[in-house]
Amino acid sequence: MLDRIGLVVHPRRELGRALATLHAWAAHHGVDVVQVPTPGLERRVAPEGDAAGCDLVIALGGDGTALAALHAAATAGRPVLGVACGSLGALTAITADRLEDALAQVAAGDWLPRRLPALVVERDGAEAMALNDLVLVRAGAGQVMVEVELDGERFVRFAGDGLIAGTPLGSTAYTLAAGGPMLAPGATGLVLTPLAPHGGVCPPLVTTPLNRVAITLDPGHSGARMEIDGQVRAELERLRPVTFALRLRDDFATLVSLDDQEPLVAGLRHRRIIIDSPRVLARDDRRAKDAARSG
């Protein structure tokens, strides 16, 4: 049963069809629609309302919009339905043309909660939460120095562009693009991936939820940035090393999953984020041509 729906919307994408469907469905079923205030997303499509007063938060846009909605809804313990208005991503369960059916499913309780962990980043007594990743990256031309400690023991020190610390969800995002490993669905832990390390042997590291992880960053003469889920959170002072303690927090946010939703790995292949090697594809083409000739 839904009494109030909260919206988080992409600032620029075409949302007319999705919004018309949503407002028509809500009016027919007597459901209020409000917009949940989200930093950086200033587009207004509904009266403002708090996520805590909603039964469901809907993200209209892509994965970035869904991440913003998940952060807004997590503190209130509300689930998020991701609706792709454009390309289908890892966090969007449906496309806009299926929104009416999805609303009916959720209202009937015919959905599954997909619980997402968060990366807790502690620095100088303050905490921040990342659903995808923490990125520590150089801000200028010079390299930064990074030290990784695991359970109080040094793992590696390196100079380079920085480091990505990704959650299982984030392992299919920036971490994967930077050459880090992807965690299979259901796996837990952190993935630490060096960015352009200069020499040495600095392999990506996969930790368990029980490991204690500390990252010390020396920004050097050019400074560095701290980014969380793609948003700049802090400019780090030059020549002032800073240490971050990292851990996983289970069940931080809830994403709506529907029975007919495309599985994660299938979605990555469908969007060509994961692609077979050219030699394998060429062999498939030859076999298909041979089969066509013989048939």
- Domain assignments of the chain as residue spans, ordered by start: 4-111+258-275, 118-250
Q: Given pLDDT bands bounded at 50, 70 and 90, which one contains residue 294?
A: confident
Query: Between 126 and 270, whose confidence is greater?
Result: 126
Of 63, 133, 161, 218, the catalytic one is: 63
Is the predicted pLDDT of residue 167 greater than 90, yes or no?
yes
Can you give the pLDDT at residue 93?
Answer: 86
Dihedral-angle region of residue 28 (phi above 0 means left; psi in -120 to 50 means alpha; beta otherwise): alpha
The residue assigned the tokens 């909260």 is 6
Closest C-alpha to 49, from 27, 80, 72 = 72
Can you give the pLDDT at residue 264?
Answer: 85
User: Can you say whether the dihedral through the CA atoms of 251, 66, 276, 197 is positive or negative?
Assistant: negative
CA 130/CA 67 separation, integer angstroms: 9
Fold of 118-250: Tumour Suppressor Smad4 (2.60.200)
Q: What is the pTM of this model?
A: 0.90
The residue assigned the tokens 């409000």 is 34
Q: Given pLDDT bands bounded at 50, 70 and 90, which one contains residue 40?
A: confident
Query: Residue 274 — φ and ψ, nearest 5°?
Result: -110, 125
CA 266/CA 87 separation, integer angstroms: 15
Judge whether 63 counts as a catalytic residue.
yes
User: What does the pLDDT average to over 278-283?
Assistant: 97
Domain 4-111+258-275 has CATH 3.40.630.10: no
**Ranges assigned E (strand) in 133-184:** 133-138, 144-150, 153-160, 162-166
Per-residue pLDDT of 99-146, as tens digits, reads 999 999 999 999 999 999 999 999 999 999 999 999 999 999 999 999
CA 206/CA 185 separation, integer angstroms: 15
Count CB neighbours of 290 within 10 A. 10
Count CB neighbours of 142 within 10 A. 14
